[in-house]
Amino acid sequence: MLKTKLGKLALPNPVTVASGTFSLEYKNFYDLNKLGAIITKTITPEPKIGNPPPRIYETKAGLLNSIGLQNPGLESFITNDLKQYQGFSNPIIISFSASKISDFIMVLKRLEENIIIDGYEVNISCPNVENEGLAFGTDEKIVYQLTSQLAKVTSKELILKLSPNVTDLTLIARAAEDGGATSISLINTLWGMAIDWKTGKSFIRQGIAGYSGPAIKPIALAATYKVAKAVNIPIIAMGGISCMEDVLEFIYAGASAVAIGTSMFSNPLLPIEIINNLDNYCKINKKSIRELKGKVNF
């Protein structure tokens, strides 16, 4: 009853994990095979040490982060980390990003050499150095260009992760679909900031940060609904999910799957709890995820 599908991947259930908050350390808390899919932390062509601290700040209803895509880089990931994902029964999706289209293509071609990978989540929220520093995900023409070139390289699941920091997210989503994306992931973090009113000092060293957590759920839900109406490819929805009821809202809005992120910091077992609760709900109500998808009523 929990089975769902992305473009080319069958998932045992609709619950996966957000790339920015997940690592294999969670295997110390539960069997990762129980997840609908495993999505890795984002990797980049070269290693990144991330932004200087302070780079995390907890607000009243969410979390600000300015980690800066800290990661070991592509070659170190392939040599040292990728082998740790062998043996899982659920799909393995690699998240990656870059600052030039040529680098996106290079990363994908290198990853394509590894058969244990089932799909890719392409993070297009990073600055595009070829376009005056604007994020790739803010320009539908660039999104189409990038996606169409990546789609020529792989026959595996190709997920474009979209930023909400745009005027019209449906335009970006359509560009990704037209370019050959097989599914869409949304939303990435919103822009946010926190300042100490006593001193005027920013709580984040970089000033502006990514905002996630419960406060963004209504925004993410609306984005999911709008994009689901605009495209024909599946959606992995995320943003403020902290319980089974939240997951059902996103399914009703049109999502095929969801990703749990910030809430895992306070409850590492949350994805498994949600899967179990969702299974019980579907059995009691004799409904499947596919039957509920996109069935919001007014």
The pLDDT tens digits for 209-218 are 999 999 999 9
What does the alpha-carbon distance between residue 275 and residue 268 come to, in Å, rounded to a whole number? 13
Q: Which whole-number Å values give the CA distances from 93 to 6, 121, 130, 208, in the listed order?
A: 12, 7, 27, 29
Joined tokens for residue 203: 């709580």
The whole-number pLDDT of residue 130 equals 58
What does the alpha-carbon distance between residue 2 and residue 91 come to, in Å, rounded to a whole number? 15
The whole-number pLDDT of residue 148 equals 98
| Catalytic annotation, residues | 126
The whole-number pLDDT of residue 126 equals 66
pLDDT in tens, the chain (298 residues): 999 999 999 999 999 999 989 999 999 999 999 999 999 999 999 999 999 999 999 999 999 999 999 999 999 999 999 999 999 999 999 999 999 999 999 999 999 999 999 999 999 976 554 554 457 888 999 999 999 999 999 999 999 999 999 999 999 999 999 999 999 999 999 999 999 999 999 999 999 999 999 999 999 999 999 999 999 999 999 999 999 999 999 999 999 999 999 999 999 999 999 999 999 999 999 999 999 999 999 9
Number of other residues whose CB lies within 10 A of the CB of residue 254: 22
The whole-number pLDDT of residue 21 equals 92
Domain limits, the chain: 4-49+69-190+214-292
Joined tokens for residue 13: 């259930």
Joined tokens for residue 206: 């970089």
**In CATH, what class is 4-49+69-190+214-292?**
alpha beta
Joined tokens for residue 158: 């190709």
